[in-house]
Structure formats: structure tokens, C-alpha cells
Amino acid sequence: MEEKELKALISLLDDEDEQILEHVEEKIRSLGTAIIPLLEREWEGSFSPAAQRRIEELIHNLQYELVKERLVGWYKGTEHDLLEGMWIVATYQYPDLELSKLRQELEQIYREVWVEFRPDLHAMDQVKVFNGVMFNKLKFGANTKNFHSPGNSMINIVLESRKGNPITLCVIYLLVAQRLKMPVYGVNLPNLFILTYKDDQHQVYINAFNRGLIFTRQDIENYIHELHLVPQNSFFEPCDQIDIIRRALRNLIMSFEKMGEHAKAEEVKLLLIEISDGGDLGV
């Protein structure tokens, strides 16, 4: 369909006939995400407020379908690149966000750590050097004032503000650590996502939400006991990338619900279902 025809079709969104509107909206949706730029340009034109709202809703619906399509493709793929997964989550709120921009920002953090890092250091000294750069020099930290803000689950916002929730801070930490060949992985602890440094000789745990605090398996066992839970292997061992993205989505659902944005919470729940195999975890 030529652009002139598309513009004529979009102009019909100003019609007052409900049947015509229903047909036009269905036709526009059938055209897919490629029509989004034109919708955005036309939205700025001389439409009535009602038509502008219809265009906004169509744009949102099409962008949402794109997020879902990307997420399912990521889930069914073989690589499960963690940064790409977090980028897809962030595009729910920031559809124009570019993955390349996130890669550049993480590369800059890597360079900041690399300057002070030595691979021949003892495991705990590696972690301490990393913590020093991440939390003292670069000032990453917990967003305790606005803990339930949806932005805490958006990696682009956390990279910009340097404040986030446990899982997003952990993701940034482990992506950079793994770039430095550190054996750092995520751990799905109930109510608190953490990291583990695990190789053939060592295994300790790192709380990125508490400035990289290092602790032991016994500390986790004590924590589990306080929560009156039965210990599970998943509380101590590395989880995979899919588990991390699922948890990021659960956090986002909780944030939207806390903010009273229930429609968005429901949309993210549907995204979670697309990559879910049952089970649940909190923040």
C-alpha cells in the first residue's frame, strides 16, 4: 500500500461511524509494526483529540506486539543474550531504545573496571576491586527512595541514574564481570536477587543491592531459615538467563501494580506467560 493510501486510511480514524472505525483499526493493525513511524508522524497532524487517542492506542498496541515478538524470538533462540533480554524488557516502556546504546554504556563501565583490574588477583580481591569501581567510583547503588518505580527494572534508566533494584544492579554487575572473565552468575534467592562468584576453588555470594557485600552459603542458610522456607538448590546455585528475564518481568509487574498502573501490569503478565514454565518468585 502506497503512503498516500496509508495516510487516507489513517485519516478515517476521525470518522464518527463505529463500524468504519472498527474496520480501519483492524486494517491498520494487520499492517504490522512497519506502519508505526507513519502513525507517529500523522499523530502530529490536525486530528481531533478522539482520533489522536485512537492513534496513540494503535501505536501502543503495535509496539507491544513487537516487544512480544522479540521476547518470544529471544526465548526460543539458542543464545539467550542477557543484555538483549533486558533491552527487550526496557522497550516495553522505551520503544525507541537501541541495543547498541546499551552495549556502548556497558563497554564504558568495563573499561573503568579494567583499568584497575588484574586477572591474577585472588578471587576475593577481584571482587573487592570490582566493587570499588562499581559502587565507589561509578556510584551505582540501591534505589531505596523509589524502590517500586518501574524505572528500576529498566536497564537503560539504571545505567543513566546509577540507581536500581537488586536484579537490574546484578545484571549490570555480572555482564561487566563476565566480560572480565570473572565467574559471576545470578542466583534466584527468594525476595532478593544476588550473585555468586563460583569457580573450582571458591564460591561466595555478592549482594549488589548492598554495595557488593560478600557473604557465605551459611549466611544464605540463615536467611532461608528466617523466611521459614525449605532450602532448595536454586537458592545457592547459578540460574540461567531466562530465569533472570522472568524475574525482571515479575519485578516490573509488581512495580506497575504498586503504582496503580494495572493495565500495564496485565500486559507485562502476558509477556511473562509467553516465556513461563510455571513457578513464581518475588522481588
Average pLDDT, the chain: 93
Q: Is residue 279 in a domain?
A: no
Q: Is residue 180 in a domain?
A: yes
Residues 41 and 102 in one domain: no
Domain boundary at 76, 109, 135, which? 76
Residues 156 and 27 in one domain: no
Range scoring the smallest mean pLDDT among 38-52, 111-125, 212-226:
38-52
Q: Which residue has the higher pLDDT, 41 or 115?
A: 115
Residues 72 and 89 in one domain: no
Res 39 pLDDT > 80: yes
Residue 37's pLDDT band, with cuts at 50, 70 and 90, is confident
Residues 147 and 29 in one domain: no
Residues 129 and 245 in one domain: yes
Residues 267 and 148 in one domain: yes
Q: Which residue has the higher pLDDT, 81 or 13?
A: 81
pTM (predicted TM-score): 0.91
Domain boundary at 61, 76, 91, which? 76
Res 139 pLDDT > 60: yes
Domain boundary at 76, 111, 128, which? 76
Residues 211 and 263 in one domain: yes
Residue 46's pLDDT band, with cuts at 50, 70 and 90, is low
Residues 93 and 57 in one domain: no
Q: How many distinct structural domains can be found in the chain?
A: 2
Domain of residue 158, residue span: 82-274
Spatial CA neighbour of 167 closest among 147, 183, 182, 152: 152
pLDDT in tens, 225-281: 999 999 999 999 999 999 999 999 999 999 999 999 999 999 999 999 999 875 444
